[in-house]
Amino acid sequence: MNDQQITLFGILAATLVFFVWNRWRYDLVAMGGLLAAALAGLIPFGKVFSGFGHPAVVTVAAILILSRGLLNAGVVDSLGRRLARVGTQPMVQVAALILLTAFFSSFMNNVGALALLMPVAIWLSRENGYSPSVLLMPLAFGSVLGGMNTLIGTPPNIIIAGFREQTGLQPFGMFDFAPVGLGLTLSGVLFIALIGWRLTPKRKDHKTPGDLFRIHEYLSEVVVPKDSNFIGRALHDLVSQGEGAPDVTVVGLVRDKRRRLAPPPYAVLRGGDVLMIRADPESMKDFVDTTGLRLADTRDPDQKKLEAGEVVVVEAVIVPGSVLLGKNAAGLNLREQYRINLLAVARQGEQLEERLGRIPFVVADILLLQGEREALEKALSTLGCLPLAERGLHIRKPRKILLSSGIFVAGSALVALDLLPAQIALSLAAVVMVLSGVVPRNEIYQSIDWAVIVLLAAMIPLGEALETSGGTRLIAGYLLQWGGSAHPVATLAVLLACTMLLTNLLNNAATAILTAPIAINLAHGLGVSVDPFLMAVAVGSCCAFLTPIGHQCNAMVMEPGGYHFGDYLRMGLPLSLLMVAVSVPLILWVWPF
């Protein structure tokens, strides 16, 4: 082992440690490793950022834009909402959810497909009186399984196709992954639907739909006295008194026996006005003491009175990428900016009783929002929230379903028929999506997960450095010495299992970049075809079922499902063993030595 190899292995080991530690985001860790390798002289300065122009990186970016177009048009949403009709049995619901998620994940970004179906899964669990943990982990695993079926289903497949081209062969095509991927997806679906969902933790008895929000416990009426200092002033002045103001929401105004719901902040107050206030007891006391208003003798306990005409109350789920994440209602000023009221927040099946203005939002929080229908539709789309399935509020444009689907199918067909390289065909389709208005121009760059792009662009030169320094040949040589007397089938199984373990600690794309060159060298050392070994890496890189950090989809459902780190092993370990047992013979049948 020479000095270059020792230095590179040290940088890679440090990078892996920081990946597993998960203290800093993986794109920053990957970029740090890339710059360290460049400063150590392992990568020429002129090639440090060459990864940003790599076909795999361009293809992934194009797929993310296409996925946004399919989501915007309501392709996933329109079908996902039909799942409410599949019945009330958890087994049937699990099977339907993961089949639909796996199908969408085969052709679009699996994180996007999961995000659109998460609200449906949460609603189904609430409607049937069980914890969302029963459905959310199977849903996440289904999205991971579906990615194995096509070239564009997941970044590792795109990366593996590029490595095959480097060996002098044609890159894998659109559906070359399907024979193995479909077999594994169906095996995984059967296991999860029959056995796996029963292994998920049941954290608590879930509230029924009517019990999730108890806003009547926090609704009060206050009267504006005839001598109030706020007479003639705007409602905004009453509820926005600077930092430290009581956390209250005005949900209605009664004047001359006429009720006005969701009054605008510029409404001018008069003596005798009755305001319907949503606030916890402490905030209500502070509000009355501060403003001099008087509590009325009656309380309005009926939430349904808040729903009338064009003013509606809707439950919405926060999805990944929402501008709400990490922020609170006070900082966003929802009423002033979006003309909507936040009435309550629920998390993991329980209404939060903290002050609303101070609650930092997380993925899958359920918000109870009030406002005019048009304002709510616009606000939900802007904020990155989706209405739950039982509500009649739609924020997508169904008329563009056929257009977006046609563009996507046309781009995929160009790749499948080998008329254009994937990066060209899919980039062309993405441009057409933008020109046709399916993806607005201000959403082009919002559609791209830049953390993933930077990760890929940073890891590709590191993988090339591992190859040019002789590191991959060195590792492959040790593996051949260790398994010299073993059959190539056993070596293939070990490679797949090791890749699978590694991908549960790293990002799947990083795993594919690091292990694909080793697989190629192993195949050359054994004197067999590289195809089964590359397929083993593709499968192993996708099968991240053991930890929440192995895949974005696993991390997305951790908080809303109430899962702990070790919960993933309960269903993930038997599923991973099943994947190894099924994939090895399936790979060798489709891609023999």
Return the CATH number of the domain spanning residue range 210-305.
3.30.70.1450
According to the model, what pLDDT value does residue 480 have? 73
548: number of CA atoms within 13 Å, CB side? 17
According to the model, what pLDDT value does residue 304 have? 45
According to the model, what pLDDT value does residue 589 have? 94
**β-pair partners for 317:** 366, 386
Assess contact for 584 and 493: CB atoms under 8 A.
yes
Hey, do 210-305 and 309-389 end up sharing a CATH topology, with the first three levels equal?
yes
Assess contact for 324 and 385: CB atoms under 8 A.
yes
According to the model, what pLDDT value does residue 393 have? 47
Cβ contacts of 178 within 8 Å, gap of 6 or more = 149, 150
CATH superfamily of this structure's domain 309-389: Regulator of K+ conductance, C-terminal domain (3.30.70.1450)
How many angstroms separate the Cα of 137 from the Cα of each of 502, 558, 559?
Answer: 20, 8, 11
350: number of CA atoms within 13 Å, CB side? 10
According to the model, what pLDDT value does residue 184 have? 95
Radius of gyration of the chain (CA): 27
User: What is the domain partition of the chain in residue ranges?
Assistant: 210-305, 309-389
- Mean pLDDT for back-to-back runs of 10 residues, the chain (593 residues): 84 84 81 92 90 86 83 65 68 87 85 75 76 88 92 90 89 92 94 91 57 62 86 81 63 80 81 80 75 67 46 75 79 78 76 75 80 80 70 50 85 86 91 89 81 84 83 76 73 90 82 89 89 94 86 77 83 94 94 90
Assess contact for 407 and 438: CB atoms under 8 A.
yes
- 213 vs 372: CA distance, rounded Å: 20
According to the model, what pLDDT value does residue 394 have? 47
- Which secondary-structure segment (H or E) carries 276? strand 274-278
Q: Which long-range contacts (CB under 8 A, 24 or more apart) does 223-227 make?
A: 223/272, 223/273, 223/274, 223/275, 223/293, 223/294, 223/295, 223/296, 224/269, 224/270, 224/271, 224/272, 224/273, 224/274, 224/275, 224/293, 225/271, 225/292, 225/293, 225/294, 226/271, 226/272, 227/271
Query: Helix or strand or coil: residue 414?
Result: helix
According to the model, what pLDDT value does residue 537 have? 94
Distance of CA 251 to the CA centre of its chain: 32
The C-alpha angle with vertex 297 and arms to 292 and 300, in degrees rounded to 5, equals 105
Taken in order 472, 460, 53, 413, is the CA torsion positive or negative? Answer: positive
According to the model, what pLDDT value does residue 215 have? 59
How many angstroms separate the Cα of 373 from the Cα of each of 102, 314, 343?
Answer: 33, 9, 16
Strand intervals (E) in 319-408:
340-347, 350-351, 366-372, 385-387
Burial class (CB in 10 A: 0-12, 13-18, 19+), 31: middle
- 258 vs 267: CA distance, rounded Å: 14
Assess contact for 510 and 19: CB atoms under 8 A.
yes
